[in-house]
Amino acid sequence: MHSIPPGDGLPADDTTQDLARAAARGDAKRFAELCERVAPALVAWCELKVSGPLREAVDPLDIAQETWCRAWKRFHTWNPETTPFRAWLFRIAKNVVLECLRRTRQDSGSGARAEILHEAPDSATTLSRRLAREEGVQALLAWARTLDAEEYAMFMHVGLEGLTYNEAGERLGLLKDTVAKRWQALRERAAHAGRGHDYLD
């Protein structure tokens, strides 16, 4: 089941929200379940987002693990009444990527790989490594790389980051209803191709 603010577009995932609320109260078991549910999208996002010179300096899985680490430590800053957990988590991931980009530019020419914290809970670290090798995730990544620019952006924003149709529309310069129709068509294509659509929001 899903809940949704009127006119907001894509609904928030109640199951993810409930797990995140429990994890935010310090329930390590629920945090592990939360990781299992959201990690495929985060790992795929990191694999796609970390490219070019940045990929030479940092491992995408380090980005994923650092994101979980920060989420675990900063749960007190998350407001489940106003922000979907997935959107909050991906904001953290984007900040980690930006920090790595800045550090990479500063260290340009040194040949050193960017240092990322390794304090994520063991469950998140192990899961990220396993998912990176999982056939479904690899198939989804291969499929995503065949998309045109608009489809790729929609896949990243709606499918992985969990933005609402309104939010994605603002970024893409499209109306909410247009985003909704094109996203559903794109998701159906992923399903027909057997490309890990179950990992999509």
Q: How far is CA 58 from CA 8, 17, 27, 117, 147, in A?
A: 36, 30, 31, 12, 25
DSSP string, 24-76: HTT-HHHHHHHHHHHHHHHHHHHHHHS-HHHHHHS-HHHHHHHHHHHHHHTGG
Could you report the per-residue pLDDT of 78-115, keeping only the tens digit for each? 999 999 999 999 999 999 999 988 887 776 654 444 45
Give pLDDT, residue 36.
84
- For the chain, domains (ranges, CATH) are 12-133 (no CATH), 135-201 (1.10.10)
Which among 127, 151, 12, 135 is positioned nearest to 68, based on CA atoms?
A: 127
The structure tokens listed for 92 are: 């953290």
Average pLDDT over residues 41-51: 91
Q: What is the pLDDT averaged over residues 133-154?
A: 89
CA–CA gap between residue 140 and residue 136 (Å, rounded): 6
- Which pLDDT belongs to residue 183? 94
Q: pLDDT tens digit string along 23-36?
A: 899 888 888 888 88
pTM, rounded to two decimals: 0.80
> For the segment 3-26, what is each residue's pLDDT rounded down to a tens digit?
333 335 444 578 899 999 998 998
Q: Are 154 and 183 in contact (CB under 8 A)?
A: yes
| pLDDT-above-90 percentage for the chain | 39
Return the pLDDT at 7. 39
CA distance 164 to 160: 11
Q: By the 8 A CB rule, do 11 and 56 touch?
A: no
